[in-house]
Amino acid sequence: MSHASTENLNVIAFDAMPSPGEIKAERPLTDTLAAHVEAGRDTIKAILDRKDPRPMVIVGPCSIHDPVAGLDYARRLKALADEVADTFYVVMRVYFEKPRTTVGWKGFINDPYMDDSFRIEEGMRRGRQFLLDVVALGLPAASETLDPIAPQYYGDLLAWAAIGARTTESQTHREIASGLSSPVGFKNGTDGSLDAAVNGCLSASQAHSFLGVNERGETCIVRTRGNRYSHVVLRGGGGRPNYDTVSVSLAEQALTKARLPANLVIDCSHANSWKKPELQPLVMRDVVGQIRAGNRSIIGVMIESFIEAGNQPIPADPAELRYGCSVTDGCIGWETTALMLREAREALRETIAKRRAGQQNPIPLA
C-alpha cells in the first residue's frame, strides 16, 4: 500500500494511456505492410554485412509536425528513391520525439497540436498512422528511440532506429537497443567523443534484462538476446566535424579495437555542418569522395531535408505555420535534396556497379 505523504508529491495526475496492443489493434500492421518492413530491415542488414554494395541514405525532416506535409514529402521521396535505387538505398527519416537540452517542443507524439495540451494518446495514434502511410508507399522508415516505452507502440514499423547523442551513454537506451528488431545506430556524444557510441554498440550487442512494458501495458521484466546490427553514427561535436578521412579512420580503428564491424553512418547535419543546413551538400560530396577512393566502412549518410528550406518558430496559432518547413532544426529544401542525391548517384554509380560485379565474381582463393 502506498503512503500519500511520501510519494508522488510532484505528480499532478496519472492519466490512462491505451496499451500498445490497443493502439496496434486500432491501426494494425497488415501482412503486406509487414513484408515491406521486413524487406527494409533485411536490406539494411545486407548493407551492414557487405552483401548489398549500396550505401543507405536516411533522409527526411528533422521532425514530423504536420502529417499532411510529411506525407507529401514521402511521396516525392519515394519517386526519388526509385530513381537512385541502383546506387543508394533510401530510408525516410520519421522523427516523432525530440530530446531537449532544457525545454521546448518535445515532438509530435508528446504534443501533436503544439499548444502544450500534451495529447500523448492522440499523438501516438496519429504517429503510428503516419508510419503506416509511409510504409504503404514502399518507403522504409527510420526514427530515434527516446522514450523507453514508445518502441512497443510503433517499433514494428521501423526499418532503422537511432540512439541520439544525448542518450547514447544511457544504460536504459543501450538496453532498449539490445531488444530492438531493427538495426540501430548510436550517435557519438555531443562533445564529439567516440567512446560512448562504441560502448553503446558493445552493450547493445549483449543480452540484457530490465523493466519495461508488454503489449498489454503490463510492467514486466524484458529479457533480450542482443542486437548484432548496432553501428556508429558520426555527427560531429565538441566544436568540430568528424566526417573527414582522419576522423573516419580513427572511428574505424576504435571499432576494430572493440572487435566490432567497422560500420559508420555519416550525419551530414548537426555539428558536421556547424548547424548550417546549407552546408550538408558539401559534407555529402566529401563522403562521396571517400567512397569513390575505396572506403568501405561508410555504409550510409543522414540528411535533414524537408519541402521548404530552413526552419520556423512555432507560432501562437499553428494555422500560421509555413507549409513543409521544419519547426526544429533547419533543413535543406526539396530541390536541393533531389539535386544532392542525383549528383551523388552520378558520382558513385560506377563505383557501386564495380562493387556489385566484384561480389558476383569473387576472386578465387589460391
pTM for this structure?
0.96
* CA–CA dist 184, 341 (Å, integer): 23
Contact status, residue 65 vs residue 324, Cβ threshold 8 Å: no
Q: 286 is in which domain, residue-wise?
A: 20-47+55-355
Residue 95 burial (CB count, 10 A): 21
Asked if residue 254 is part of any domain, the answer here is: yes
Q: How many domains does the chain have?
A: 1
Asked if residue 15 is part of any domain, the answer here is: no
Profile the chain (366 residues) by mean pLDDT over runs of 10 residues: 84 96 98 98 98 98 98 98 98 90 85 94 98 98 96 98 97 98 98 97 98 97 98 97 98 98 98 97 98 98 98 92 97 98 98 92 50
Model pLDDT, residue 3: 76
Model pLDDT, residue 299: 98
Model pLDDT, residue 361: 64
From the number of C-beta atoms within 10 Å of its C-beta (0-12, 13-18, 19+), residue 5 rates as exposed
**Which candidate, 63, 113, 91, places its Cα nearest to that of 329?**
63
Q: Kindly report, residue by residue over 285-319, the tens digit of the pLDDT.
A: 999 999 999 999 999 999 999 999 999 999 988 88
Asked if residue 65 is part of any domain, the answer here is: yes
Cell readout for 93 is 527519416
Model pLDDT, residue 332: 98
Cell readout for 220 is 514486466
Asked if residue 192 is part of any domain, the answer here is: yes
Model pLDDT, residue 318: 86
Count the residues in the chain. Answer: 366
**284 by DSSP, 3-state: which?**
helix
Model pLDDT, residue 55: 98
Asked if residue 5 is part of any domain, the answer here is: no
Asked if residue 289 is part of any domain, the answer here is: yes
CATH number at residue 343: 3.20.20.70
Asked if residue 14 is part of any domain, the answer here is: no
Model pLDDT, residue 365: 42
Asked if residue 212 is part of any domain, the answer here is: yes
